[in-house]
Amino acid sequence: MIYLDHAATTAVDPGVFAAMTPWLTSSCGNPSSAYDYGYDARAAITRAREQTAALISASPDRIFFTSGGTEADNWVLCSTARMSASKGRHIISTNMEHHAILHTLDYLEENGFEVTRLPVSEDGFVTPKQLEEAIRPDTILVSVMFANNEIGTIQPIRALSAVAHRHGILFHTDAVQAFGQIPIDVAELGIDMLSASSHKLYGPKGCGCLYVREGIDLPPRLFGGAQENGMRAGTENVPGIVGFGAAAAIAMEQMTETMEKETKLRDFLITQVLRRIPYARLNGSHKNRLPGNANFSFQFVEGSTLLIMLDMKGICASTGSACTASSSSPSHVLRAIGLPDDLARGSLRLTLGRNTTEEEIHIVVDALEEILENLRSVSEDYNRIILRR
């Protein structure tokens, strides 16, 4: 198997697994219990909170663990809306956010809020000028993703948050794809609130967090016990949280080396694909993209067929977001960057990880070249448009 779908999810790192194991077996205490097992579990959560906070240079007491990125996104949007409704009911975001944001915004619209979804450029960027122009006196929140999950474009976060702050507006970023992959310093970047997820950085699935800057009195979304400082009720997922913390610590330690390695392999992959495969284009920015992300469109093929053929050769890839893999309509992200539907349908996302090797890239490029040639040879459009030229 060659796994090139790390943006969908990652395997749990052996170090993470080792850190989690006792919390799944012998150390079974509830962190709220008043005996040693409970105290131990609570101490383990405290340590994980410190490890997670360190990755974004945040204060540990401003990290609130959740069941993942989706919950963090839902929580931050709905609770900010509730908290600030007396000031205004207008929210600004973009048209290529993850559905965890987009569908929550739809829900808020159905409930009396107004949303501006900024269009993105050909490479997937929103500009500070666009944001400035969209701000209204009743704007209460700006939410722009840190890096896109399909095309890997990294937004100019510092410049965007500066615009929001000049107008006294809170700035949130969905950093699920960037967290643990590239450096993030919340204070330096002017981030008020940030969503992250454990399973994108070799931690377990079903765990994530919301960072909320000191001074923001965000209302809770789940009601019940006093866990997470009264911010997120429910018995803590101790193994998940410990695993997330361990994954954050490993990501921090290996970040520079991993970024360098992935960037080099990704650039090699992009160069090879564009050189060897005709009628191919790279989607997203050449420069400001996640180290492990490559997203291509191939004319005259269906991405879904390409995926099956790759799968038959033991190669895992995707056409876009894993969350919408069962949908047959073209990706909203590729539409947002202006791709016509036929090119959007012929897209392929290859996302590299810390264990991806050069040999694997060679195998994948060879496989792609062969599969595309075969698929195109039976494509009516290809034969009609290209071969008869």
Neighbours of 82 (CB within 10 A): 14
**Closest approach of ligand PLP to the CB of residue 205, in Å:** 7
Of 8 and 361, nearer to ligand PLP (C-beta) is 8
What span, in angstroms and rounded, lies between the C-alpha atoms of 279 and 277? 7
Nearer to ligand PLP, 68 or 291 (CB): 68
CA atoms in the 13 A half-sphere facing the CB of 307: 21
Phi, psi of 348 (to 5 degrees): -140, 125
Q: Which is nearer to ligand PLP, 174 or 236 (CB)?
A: 174
Residue numbers annotated as active site:
323
Cβ-based nearer residue to ligand PLP, 7 or 365: 7
d(C-alpha 53, C-alpha 56), whole Å: 6
Query: What is the three-class DSSP state of 74?
Result: helix
What are the distances in angstroms from CA 248 to CA 103, 183, 200, 242?
28, 12, 10, 10
Measured from the Cβ of residue 389, the count of other Cβ atoms closer than 10 Å reads: 5
Contact 51, 245 (CB under 8 A): yes
Residue 9 or 305: which CB sits closer to ligand PLP?
9
- Do 247 and 202 meet the contact criterion of CB atoms below 8 Å apart? yes
321/356 with CB nearer ligand PLP: 321
| CB 148 to ligand PLP: min, Å | 7
The least distance separating ligand PLP from the CB of residue 178, rounded to whole angstroms, comes to 9
Cβ 249 to ligand PLP, closest distance in Å? 19
Q: Which C-beta is closer to ligand PLP: that of 91 or that of 375?
A: 91
Residue 373: partners with Cβ closer than 8 Å, 6 or more residues away: none
Distance of CA 64 to the CA centre of its chain: 18
Give dist(CA 290, CA 354) in Å, integer: 13
Least gap, CB of 97 to ligand PLP (angstroms): 7
Beta carbon of residue 177, minimum distance to ligand PLP (angstroms, whole number): 5
Comparing CB distances to ligand PLP, the nearer of 144 and 372 is: 144
Minimum separation from the CB atom of position 319 to ligand PLP (A): 14
Both tokens of 354, joined, read 């810390």
Comparing every residue's Cβ against ligand PLP, the nearest one is 69
Q: Which residues bind ligand PLP (CB under 6 A)?
A: 68-70, 73, 98, 100, 145, 149, 174, 176-177, 197, 208, 323
Instruction: Report the alpha-carbon distance of residue 245 to residue 242 in Å, rounded.
Output: 5
Strands, E assignment, 149-276: 170-174, 193-197, 208-212
Residue length, the chain? 389
Instruction: Report the nearest approach of ligand PLP to the CB of residue 39 (Å).
Output: 29
* CA neighbor of 145 nearest in space, from 160, 155, 158, 135: 155
Long-range contacts (CB closer than 8 Å, 24 or more residues apart) made by 371-379: 371/306, 371/309, 371/310, 371/313, 372/277, 372/298, 372/301, 372/306, 374/309, 375/300, 375/301, 375/305, 375/306, 375/309, 376/300, 376/301, 379/300, 379/301
